């Protein structure tokens, strides 16, 4: 009986490892946002379109040393569409940061002072910025939390508010996705 249980656990673990290894690295964001290739889709990706999206991120990881999976979503969005054949110039992405996600844009020094570790999101945000993604902090959140440009990553842009940035980007044709 014990041998069967061990075999079942081994098979389950093997399937888990196999599913993890099927992820494709990104063509745009190299170190974050691996995706799966999906066969036989019913809704084909229009690789001739321009996709403009603004992600609204208001939640953070519960543990201060874990990257914010909601910010990684922007990397996955870019990578999965690039892996389908879309060019970087066809993909326009922005992210508004507010609520409890404010800490995810602190520079490493400020994050270290507050939480005792470097910001796990800093490399991701740098790569997103290098790919043309606008990472925007809500000015209202920043004032409430008493953070200014000296305390955040240099890649982060300030807006009057997340609401203002969301409206202005949507007026430019960006589609809203909430995380």
Domains of the chain as residue ranges with CATH: 2-178 (3.40.1260.10)
pTM of the model: 0.86
C-alpha distances in Å from residue 76, one per residue of 2, 24, 138, 147, 157: 41, 10, 23, 28, 21
pLDDT lower than 70: segments of the chain: 1-21
Read off the pLDDT of residues 29-59 as tens digits, 9 standing for 90 and up. Answer: 999 999 999 999 999 999 999 999 999 999 9
Residue 80: what pLDDT? 96
The bridge status of strand 35-36 relative to strand 23-24 is: antiparallel
Distance between CA atoms of residues 156 and 125, nearest Å: 8
Residue 12: what pLDDT? 53
Residue 17: what pLDDT? 45
Distance between CA atoms of residues 33 and 72, nearest Å: 6
Residue 142: what pLDDT? 98
Residue 4: what pLDDT? 54
- Total residue length of the chain: 179
Residue 21: what pLDDT? 61
Residue 14: what pLDDT? 47
């Amino acid at each position: 009986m014990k041998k069967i249980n061990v075999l079942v656990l081994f098979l389950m673990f093997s399937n888990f490892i196999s599913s993890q290894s099927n992820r494709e690295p990104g063509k745009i964001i190299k170190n974050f946002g691996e995706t799966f290739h999906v066969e036989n889709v019913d809704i084909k990706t229009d690789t001739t379109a321009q996709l403009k999206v603004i992600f609204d991120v208001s939640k953070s990881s519960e543990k201060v040393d874990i990257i914010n999976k909601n910010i990684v979503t922007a990397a996955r969005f870019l990578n999965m569409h690039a892996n389908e054949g879309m060019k970087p110039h066809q993909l326009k992405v922005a992210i508004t940061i507010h609520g409890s996600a404010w800490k995810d844009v602190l520079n490493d020094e400020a994050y270290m002072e507050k939480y005792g570790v470097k910001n796990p999101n800093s490399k991701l945000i740098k790569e997103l910025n290098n790919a043309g993604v606008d990472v925007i902090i809500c000015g209202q959140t920043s004032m409430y939390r008493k953070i200014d440009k000296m305390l955040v990553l240099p890649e982060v842009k300030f807006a009057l508010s997340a609401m203002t940035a969301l409206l202005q980007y949507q007026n430019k044709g960006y589609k809203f996705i909430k995380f």
